[in-house]
Amino acid sequence: MTDIRVQIVMSGTSATEYICKCTSACAGCSSSLILRHVLKAAGPDTVLVVPACCTSVLQGVWPNTAFNIPVYNVAFAAAAAVASGMAAAFESMGKNTNVIAYAGDGGTVDIGIQALSGALERETNFLYICYDNEAYGNTGMQRSGSTPIGARTTTTPGGKVHKKKDLDRIIAAHNLPYMATACSAYPQDLAKKVQKALSIKGPKFMHILAPCPPGWRYDASKTIEVGKMAVKTGLWAMYEREYDLLTISGPTKAAMIKPAPLEDYFKMQGRFSGLKEEQVKTVRGEMERNLRMLKAEAEGC
Amino acid sequence: MFEIRLHSRGGQGGVTAAKLMALAAFRDGKYATAAPFYGAERRGAPIVSFIRIDDKPIKIYSQIHNPDLVVVLDPSIIDLVNVFDGLKPDGKVLINATEVPAKAAGYKVSLVDLTGIALKINLIVAGSPILNTPVIGALAKMGLFSRESASAAIKEMFSDERNYQAALMAFEELV
Amino acid sequence: MLTISTGNNAVAAAVRQAIPAVVAAYPITPQTEIVEQIANYVTNGSLKSKYIPVESEHSAMAACIGASITGIRTFTATSSHGLLYMHEMVNWAAGARLPIVMANVNRALGPGWNVWAEHTDSLQARDTGWLQVYVATVQEAYDATIMAFRIAEDRRVYLPVMINLDGFSLSHITQQLEESEIGDFIPPLMLDHAIDTKAPAGYGCMTPSTDYFRIRYDIERSMRDSVAVIRETEDAFATKFGRKYSWTENYRCEDAEVLVLSMGTLGKEAEVAVDILRDEGVKAGAMRVRWIRPFPELDLGDRELVVIDRNYSFGFGGILASSIRAKTGRQCYNVIAGIGGQEVTYNDIAGFIRNRRIGEETWFGVDA
């Protein structure tokens, strides 16, 4: 039988780099940036489970891979369930190998949510990371349940008419030991959260905003700025929840006190070019409600 | 080959009774199969099970159309289903009842009060009297399998002593 | 140990002998008894497996895939709609060369709801790269499940195996069962391509056409190699446990002038039909086809063929008959019977043989 695995092609990178310099990611890709920090935080005894998403493509083409870590690519809906099986198998062998499912928003909030909900409910010992570029990026930016209202995608040429699904509150309803939100523009915060997540046994979840230059229609050089603006406006709230204890992360605390104008975030991105006034109002309302709820929870009200 | 058709209602233990019959015959050194026919798996719905006993391996999976024996765990089914359908001319009928139902007239009917026996020794699970172990006693009396194999089968499948007692009572009650 | 068991419980008992490290379980009628019984074993400690009570069949196969790629033994069971729901992952399991073992309790497909026996469910999965065996007795369900692990895990195969048993008519029938201590009959699993974090590798990434094509060809090569592995395994099983199996089970075929071919429990019923016809002076024989993938070489000679299909490929024909025609070039009388649990007796089968019209197809009981 032919060996169907693929070998590392690049060498000479730092021992702590698990993504080598030969990915086929787009310029300014923040999801590969996120993964770089996730893997650095996780270390070498880690297996990555990847459903259909940008990451299944950007790792390279058989027989080469840009990832210096075992990567198990699986069907779109299957990441959390495959990770379940893997976690159970490692447990049966007495191994402490990290199992990380790394999925896009389509693979999480849409087609993968059933398997994810099941895996969380079964208290699977794994970390599920949803990197959220707010559309089906790999297939050329079609609307997902995570696409914000008003955003143009190839299947919402007039702008999306429905709101972004509140994934985090769905996840929170599973009462898991650890969940956190993060953003590619804040890698240290992100890495700390990954480390904390992996130090806890049981199901962990992270939702990480991943600005996407071709999808969101901004210059590739602005990928960090756009991510920062999402946080500074308060639109993307960063926090972590350990069991019942919610801690709002520093940048979001600052945004709660003095938020950047929401319009500045929209103006940076071509996808919002047709955004209507009432849609801005809807987004603002949702954002304020979210921050109010988080604040109330953090203050123990 | 000896073929038995067992009529019961969902929840009365007919499926288990069929298994017990097969086990008892098997402990006699015979070949036996027990096949429940499931319709809608609801409590109270009429259920039929097919039991075959033979000296050689049994290859038949289809239903029993011409039984040698019909066992009726719930006499009220007689009004709903023609339990005597296809019964061989010399075929027998065993009914859990205290008197012969009108429709059973003309058949070789044996009666045993399985419900009464179960109630007498408080063999009740979830509000229903257990009929599947006492019926094994009655069938042993009819010579379907030995008394020893019947008691071995019951003890193999149930730890509660009352199941054996009930079978013994049915064995003694059946004339 | 000689006892009695249902077909479902026999599968579970065999799984207890094989000791998979991970079992993924989702209930569906008429398979449920298998995953219930395994849950009992795991709860009472007689089976040391991780039991994953998944939320769907898609996840059942996905969990088996995730577990299997770490190099451990896995098992799951399903039926009908469950098999259809996991179809994507069924393909994935074979493509990923994982020796997963699955019992499928054959059941009709909706609508309307029908929980009784039919082979269309598993035959729809015949092109997935899984090995498929169809059994007809409680003992055979047990034995085939044990052998399935050894066959799937053989380095020459590394493909998943599906054991198929007829819904209710076999899954729920009680027959005698000899349970065997299997000892070292199934060697420890050594999966050459298991995940190893000390030797990181990628699996299933983007693959160009030529390479992909070659990897698919490898599946077919292993499927062909599995022929020898199946033969060896069944021979070793016969030597060790005294119960003999082969590609087909042949009954009074040697001097037969007409053969009735079928799969599953109807194949046993057909033996009774053969006895009836022999008494009438008709030289009939029954051939029960056990393995569908890999499809066996059938010793048909120049005898007339009656093929019973408990399945159908709409717009084409009964799948067993079509396969036989394609593989041997022989014409047959194709009887479509037993669909959705339709009652088919030995007398009916004797009638099929008596009234055979070679080259034609009939739908028993509905084809006027």
Nearest CB neighbour to C172, from listed B31, B36, B65: B36
Residues in chain B with pLDDT < 50?
A: none
Residue in B23, B39, B42 with CA at minimum distance from that of residue B31: B23
- Cβ contacts of B19 on chain C, cutoff 8 Å: 4, 174
Asked if residue A13 has pLDDT above 70, the reply is no
Category of C365 on φ-ψ map: left (φ > 0), alpha (ψ -120 to 50) or beta: left
Q: Could you tell me if C251 and C206 are in contact, meaning their C-beta atoms sit under 8 angstroms apart?
A: no
Predicted ipTM of the assembly: 0.95
Interatomic CA distance for residues B166 and B170, integer angstroms = 6
The nearest alpha carbon in chain B to C344 belongs to: B62
**CA distance to B53, C1, C177, C228, per residue, from B26 (Å):** 8, 13, 11, 37
CB contact under 8 A, B59 and C345: no
Q: Are B110 and B95 in contact (CB under 8 A)?
A: yes
What are C164's strand-pairing partners?
C104, C134
Place of tokens 């994982």: C98
The reply to whether A269 falls in a domain is yes
Strand partners, C285: C259
A187-199 and A30-42 helices, crossing angle to 10°: 40
Q: Residue B15 and residue B38: Cα distance in Å, rounded?
A: 10
Instruction: Locate C318 and state its tokens.
Output: 């009964």
Report CB contact under 8 Å: C206, A62: yes
pLDDT of residue A301: 67
Structure tokens at C63: 């969990």
CB contact under 8 A, B31 and C170: no
Looking at the complex, does the CB of residue C269 fall below 8 Å from at least one CB of chain B? yes
Establish how many alpha carbons lie within 13 A of residue A96's alpha carbon, considering only the half-sphere containing its beta carbon: 7
For the cut 50, the answer to whether the pLDDT of residue A208 exceeds it is yes
CATH number of the domain enclosing A58:
3.40.50.970
pLDDT in tens, C117-166: 999 999 999 999 999 999 999 999 999 999 999 999 999 999 999 999 99
**Percent of chain C scoring above 70 in pLDDT:** 100
Note whether B19 contacts C266, CB cutoff 8 Å: no
Q: Does C206 touch chain A (CB under 8 A)?
A: yes
Q: Which of B83, B81, B73, B76 is nearest to B115 (CA)?
A: B73
From residue A135, how far is each of A131, A263, B75 by CA, in Å? 11, 21, 65
Cα gap A291→A256, rounded to integer Å: 7
Average pLDDT for chain C: 97
- CB nearest to C173's CB, from B23, B31, B35: B35
* Degrees to nearest 5, angle at CA C58 with C57 and C59: 85
- The confidence band for A161, taking pLDDT boundaries of 50, 70 and 90, is very high
In-domain check, residue A212: yes
* Residue B12 confidence (pLDDT): 87
Q: Shortest CA distance to B131 belongs to which of B13, B7, B49, B15?
A: B13
Cα separation, A175 vs A159, in Å, equals 34
Cα end-to-end distance, chain B, whole Å = 25
Quote the domain boundaries for residue A131: 16-298
pLDDT in tens, B102-138: 999 999 999 999 999 999 999 998 888 999 999 999 9
Cβ-based neighbour number of residue A277 at 10 Å: 7
Residue of B nearest to C5 (CA): B19
Tally of CA atoms within 13 A in the half-sphere of A161 that contains its CB:
3
| Residue keyed to tokens 């489970």 | A49
3-state secondary structure chain B: CEEEEEEEECCCCHHHHHHHHHHHHHHCCCEEEEEEECCCCCCCCEEEEEEEEECCCCCCCCCCCCCCEEEECCHHHHHCCCCCCCCCCCCEEEEECCCCCHHHCCCEEEEECHHHHHHHCCCEECCEECCHHHHHHHHHHCCCCCHHHHHHHHHHHCCCHHHHHHHHHHHHHCC
Q: Rounded CA gap, C231 and C227, in Å?
A: 6
pLDDT digits (tens, 9 = 90+) for A254-288: 999 999 999 999 999 999 999 999 999 999 999 99
**According to the model, what pLDDT value does residue B127 have?**
86
Chain B: residue whose CA lies nearest to C268: B59
Cβ contact A39:A15 at 8 Å: no
Distance between CA atoms of residues A122 and C53, nearest Å: 8
Report yes or no: C140 at the B interface, CB cutoff 8 Å: no
Q: Cα distance from C229 to chain A (closest Cα, Å)?
A: 15
Q: Is the Cβ pair A92, C222 closer than 8 Å? A: no
In angstroms, the CA C3 to CA C11 distance is: 14
CATH T-level topology, domain C2-241: Rossmann fold (3.40.50)
Is residue C39 less than 8 Å (CB to CB) from chain B? no
Q: Classify strands B46-54 and B108-112 as parallel, antiparallel or unpaired.
A: unpaired
How confident is the model at residue A300, as a pLDDT?
A: 86
CA distances (Å), origin A244, targets A171, A177, A181, A298:
13, 8, 15, 10
C23 touching B (Cβ < 8 Å): no
Cα pseudo-dihedral A156, A161, A166, A167, rounded to 10: -20
Interface B:C, Cβ pairs < 8 A: 59
Rounded Cα gap, residues B23 and B53, in angstroms? 10
Q: Count of CB atoms within 10 A of residue B115's CB?
A: 20
Cα–Cα nearest to C351, from C280, C301, C290: C280
CA–CA separation, B139 and A119 (whole Å): 51
Residue A10 has pLDDT above 60, yes or no: no
**A3, A46, A118 member nearest C193 (Cβ):** A3
Whole-number Å distance between alpha carbons of B158 and B164: 9
Cβ pair B35:C172 closer than 8 A? yes
Number of C-beta neighbours around residue C43 at 10 A: 10
**Nearest-angstrom CA–CA distance, B90 and B159:** 37
CA proximity to C156, closest of C95, C224, C246, C66:
C224
- Residues in chain A with CB shorter than 8 Å from the CB of C208 are 61-62
Tens digit of pLDDT for each residue in A211-241?
Answer: 999 999 999 999 999 999 999 999 999 999 9
User: How far apart, in Å, are the Cα atoms of C303 and each of A288, C254, C274?
Assistant: 81, 11, 15
Considering only CB atoms, C173 lies closest to which of B23, B26, B33, namely: B33
Say whether residue B53 is in contact with chain C using an 8 A CB cutoff: no
Q: Which residue of A has its CA nearest to C26?
A: A118
pLDDT recorded at residue A5: 66
How confident is the prediction for chain B on average, in pLDDT? 94
In B, minimum Cα distance to C349 occurs at: B62
Three-class secondary structure assignment of A30-98: HHHHHHHHHHHHHCCCEEEEECCCHHHHHCCECCEECECCCEEECCHHHHHHHHHHHHHHHHHCCCCCE
- Is domain C249-363 annotated with CATH 3.30.230.20? no
pLDDT digits (tens, 9 = 90+) for C291-314: 999 999 999 999 999 999 999 999
What integer pLDDT is reported at residue A101 of this predicted model? 98
Instruction: Say whether residue B62 is in contact with chain C using an 8 A CB cutoff.
Output: yes
| DSSP strand pairing (C284-289 vs A178-183) | unpaired
Please give the average pLDDT of every successive group of 10 residues along chain C, which has 368 residues. Answer: 95 98 97 98 98 98 98 98 98 98 98 96 98 98 98 98 98 97 97 96 95 97 98 98 98 98 98 98 98 97 97 98 97 98 97 98 90
B112 in Cβ contact with B139 (< 8 Å): no
The answer to whether position A243 is within a domain reads: yes
Does A70 contact C200 at a Cβ distance shorter than 8 Å? yes
Domain boundaries, chain C: 2-241, 249-363
Neighbours of chain A (3+ CB pairs under 8 A): C
For B54, the closest chain C residue by CA position comes to: C175
Read off the tokens for A249. Answer: 């992360």
Q: Which domains does chain B have, with CATH numbers?
A: 2-173 (3.40.920.10)
For B120, phi then psi, to 5°, come to -60, -40
Chains C and A touch (3+ CB pairs under 8 A): yes
Phi and psi, residue B149, nearest 5°: -70, -35
The amino acid that residue C259 corresponds to is L
Instruction: State the nearest Cα–Cα gap between C312 and chain A, in angstroms.
Output: 29
- Identity of the residue in B22, B37, B60 whose CB atom sits nearest the CB atom of C174: B22
B chain contacts of residue C175, beta-carbon cutoff 8 Å: 22, 32-33, 58
CB contact under 8 A, A1 and C207: no
Does the structure show a pLDDT above 90 at A21?
A: no
Q: Does a structural domain hold residue A263?
A: yes
What's the pLDDT tens digit per position in A243-255? 999 999 999 999 9
Chains that touch C (3 or more CB pairs under 8 A): A, B
Question: Nearest by CB to C72, which of A8, A78, A93?
Answer: A93
pLDDT band at A11 (very low <50, low <70, confident <90, very high): very low
Closest chain B residue to the Cα of C113, Cα to Cα: B40
Asked if residue A258 is part of any domain, the answer here is yes
Q: What pLDDT digit, counting tens, does each position of A39-69 carry? A: 999 999 999 999 999 999 999 999 999 999 9
- Is residue A259 classed exposed, middle or buried when 0-12, 13-18 and 19+ CB atoms within 10 A define those classes? middle
Q: Is the dihedral of CA C185, C230, C215, C81 positive or negative?
A: negative
Render pLDDT for B90-102 as a digit per residue (tens, 0 to 9): 999 999 999 999 9
Backbone angles phi, psi at C296, to 5 degrees: -80, 160
For residue A92, give the nearest of C50, C202, C214 by CB distance. C50
